[in-house]
C-alpha cells in the first residue's frame, strides 16, 4: 500500500514545468489540488500527513451531527465514535489524502445535505454540495456508487414521502451540478495535460463471483481490524473471529435498518437517511463483487470500502436508538472493537 499512497505526494513535490502527466487508475484531482496549493509551505509534509485523518474526523463529526437529528442524542456520538474505530490497515489509509479517502468524506457531506433538504430552502447550499460532489467524483469515480447514486435514491424517496416539490428540485439541482462539475473537472485537468491511464471497466466472469464474494467478506473484516487477508493474521483467535463477526454485522446493519424503517413507515427523513446508507452499502458490495478490479488489487481493495465504515456506524446506531438493550449492546461492541484494535496498533500491526 505504501507506494500507492506516496504517489500523489511525490508527484506534488516534483511536478515542475509543462508536459503531459499520466496518473494510474483514478485522478485524485482534488487531493492533487490541495497538495499543489500547499507544497510551498515550510511545514507542508506534516500538513499532508494530517489532512487524511482530518477528513476522517470531519466525516465522523458530520455523521454524528446527522444521526443526532434523525435518531437522537445517543445515536449521534455513538455513530461518530464507531466511525473512528477502525483496524490498523484502514487507519493507515485514513492517514493519507490518497487511497479513496475523499469518498467517505463526501458521502458524509451528501448524507448531511439529504437531511437539510427538508429543513432549509437554501439553493446555494444545493449548488455547493453539487460542486464538491462532482469534483470529487471526477477525482474518484467510485463516489458515484458510494454517495451520489445513493443520494439520488434517498432524495427521491424523501420527496415522494413528504410530497414536497421543493425537496425534489433542490436534490435535482445538487445532482445536476454534480454531473456538470464532474465533467468540467475532467475537461479542465485533461486540458492541463493530466491523464488517467490503466482504468479498466468490465464485469468479472460468473465463475469468479463466489471467490469475489469471499474476498469482499475478508476486506470488510480487514477494515475493522480482523486480518484474514495479509500474511501474519491478527489478532489471535478467537478474538479475530469475534472482531470479524462484529464488523460484518455492522456492515449489514444499514441494510437491515433501511428495510426495518421502511416497513414500519418511519418518519420520512429518518427513513430516507437509512435508505441512503443502506443503498450505498448494497451498491458498493455489488460493484466490488461483479467487477474484477477488487480481486486483482488484493488487500488494497479494502480502501474501496472505506465508506462502509460510516454506513455501518449509522446502521448500528439507527437500529439501537430506541432500545436500552440495543444501546448497551452497541456500546459494548464498539468498546470491544476499539480495545482490540488499540492493542493491535500497540503491538505494531
Total domains present in the chain: 1
Residue 72 parent element (H or E): none
Alpha helices in the chain, H assignment, sequence order: 2-14, 29-38, 44-71, 75-84, 88-94, 101-116, 123-139, 142-143, 149-162, 165-191, 209-224, 239-263, 268-290, 293-297, 307-320, 324-346
pLDDT tens digits along 39-88: 888 887 788 878 888 999 999 999 999 999 999 999 999 999 999 999 99
- Domain of residue 133 covers 2-346
For residue 7, the model assigns a pLDDT of 52
* pLDDT at site 20: 76
Question: Which stretches of the chain drop beneath a pLDDT of 70?
Answer: 1-19, 99
Helix axes 75-84, 44-71, angle to 10 degrees: 150
Per-residue pLDDT reduced to its tens digit, 187-200 = 998 888 888 877 77
According to the model, what pLDDT value does residue 33 have?
Answer: 87
Cell of 94: 485514513
pTM: 0.92
Amino acid at each position: 500500500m505504501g507506494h500507492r499512497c506516496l504517489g500523489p505526494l511525490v508527484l506534488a513535490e516534483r511536478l515542475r514545468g509543462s508536459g503531459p502527466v499520466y496518473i494510474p487508475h483514478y485522478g485524485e484531482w482534488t487531493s492533487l489540488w490541495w497538495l499543489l496549493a500547499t507544497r510551498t509551505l515550510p511545514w507542508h509534509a506534516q500538513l499532508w500527513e494530517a489532512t487524511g485523518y482530518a477528513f476522517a474526523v470531519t466525516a465522523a463529526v458530520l455523521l454524528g451531527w446527522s444521526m443526532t437529528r434523525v435518531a437522537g442524542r445517543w445515536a449521534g456520538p455513538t455513530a461518530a465514535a464507531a466511525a473512528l474505530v477502525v483496524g490498523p490497515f484502514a487507519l493507515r489509509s485514513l492517514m493519507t489524502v490518497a487511497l479513496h479517502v475523499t469518498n467517505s468524506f463526501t458521502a458524509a457531506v451528501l448524507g448531511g445535505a439529504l437531511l437539510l433538504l427538508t429543513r432549509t430552502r437554501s439553493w446555494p447550499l444545493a449548488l455547493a454540495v453539487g460542486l464538491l460532489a462532482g469534483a470529487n467524483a471526477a477525482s474518484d469515480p467510485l463516489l458515484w456508487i458510494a454517495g451520489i447514486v445513493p443520494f439520488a435514491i434517498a432524495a427521491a424517496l424523501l420527496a415522494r414521502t413528504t410530497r414536497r416539490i421543493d425537496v425534489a428540485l433542490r436534490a435535482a439541482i445538487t445532482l445536476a451540478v454534480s454531473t456538470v462539475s464532474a465533467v468540467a473537472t475532467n475537461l479542465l485537468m485533461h486540458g492541463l495535460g493530466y491523464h488517467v491511464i490503466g482504468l479498466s471497466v468490465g464485469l468479472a466472469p460468473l465463475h469468479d463471483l463466489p471467490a469475489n464474494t469471499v474476498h469482499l467478506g475478508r476486506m470488510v473484516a480487514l477494515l475493522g481490524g480482523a486480518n484474514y487477508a495479509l500474511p501474519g493474521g491478527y489478532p489471535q483467535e478467537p478474538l479475530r473471529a469475534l472482531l470479524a463477526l462484529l464488523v460484518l454485522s455492522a456492515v449489514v446493519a444499514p441494510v437491515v435498518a433501511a428495510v426495518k424503517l421502511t416497513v414500519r413507515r418511519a418518519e420520512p427523513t429518518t427513513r430516507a437517511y437509512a435508505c441512503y446508507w443502506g443503498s450505498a452499502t448494497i451498491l458498493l458490495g455489488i460493484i466490488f463483487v461483479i467487477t474484477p478490479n477488487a480481486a486483482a488489487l488484493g488487500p488494497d481493495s479494502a480502501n474501496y470500502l472505506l465508506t462502509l465504515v460510516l454506513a455501518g456506524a449509522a446502521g448500528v446506531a439507527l437500529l439501537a436508538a430506541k432500545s436500552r438493550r440495543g444501546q448497551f449492546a452497541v456500546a459494548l461492541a464498539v468498546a470491544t472493537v476499539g480495545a482490540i484494535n488499540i492493542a493491535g496498533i500497540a503491538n505494531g500491526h
